[in-house]
Amino acid sequence: MGILNITPDSFSDGGKFFNNTSRAVKQAGVMIKQGADIIDVGGESSRPGAAPVGAGEEAGRVIPVIRGIVKRYPKILVSIDSYKPEVVKKALDEGAAMINDISGLRHPEMVKHAADSKAPVVIMHMKGNPQTMQKRPAYKDVVDDIV
């Protein structure tokens, strides 16, 4: 899986794909040549302390990139990295075929979108949210505490 962060504050790429759809799509091609068979596109940073962005802003970041990847690389699986149902729905409508939800499907509409689209889902756990995840990040029993 290749990761494309379409954010100004990406911890992994320094924001070089933010507001640059053509560069992001070209980077997807580089990742594919390097062996990626899934390209995961995210428009909101989940680094510790990151501020949330609205659904409209997030969709505005990721949808053009998803369109570009789907058009240029139609055989590649595109994943949308979002916990916002409205962003995920738009991404699925534009050709994304996998959901990567850092909230662990907390929102009931996410389950509906996954079921309706039959898209595979990556579920993650985070203690709190990006603003609070590093405050006492310990568990008495990790499995019991998460479940």
Task: Evaluate if residue 133 carries a pLDDT over 60.
Answer: no
Q: Where in the sequence is the domain holding 28, given as residue range(s)?
A: 2-146
Query: pLDDT of 81-103, one tens digit each?
Result: 999 999 999 999 999 999 999 88
Q: For 60-81, what is the mean pLDDT?
A: 98
Task: Evaluate if residue 80 carries a pLDDT over 70.
Answer: yes
User: Which contacts of 25-30 are long-range, i.e. CB under 8 A and separated by 24 or more positions?
Assistant: 25/65, 25/68, 25/69, 25/72, 27/2, 28/2, 28/4, 28/65, 28/68, 28/69, 28/72, 28/73, 28/76, 29/72, 29/73
CATH number of the domain encompassing residue 6: 3.20.20.20
> What mean pLDDT is reported for the chain?
88
* 131 vs 58, higher pLDDT: 58
* Whole-number pLDDT of residue 131: 63
Distance separating alpha carbons of residues 121 and 101, to the nearest angstrom:
7
* Whole-number pLDDT of residue 76: 98
| Token code pair at residue 142 | 């990790």
* 89 vs 107, higher pLDDT: 89
Percent of the chain with pLDDT over 70: 84
Q: Which ranges constitute the DSSP H helices of 17-141?
A: 21-33, 55-72, 85-93, 108-117
Number of domains in the chain: 1
Query: pLDDT of 46-64, one tens digit each?
Result: 776 778 899 999 999 999 9
* Whole-number pLDDT of residue 59: 98
Q: What band does 130 get if pLDDT is binned at 50, 70 and 90? A: low
| Token code pair at residue 100 | 């990567």
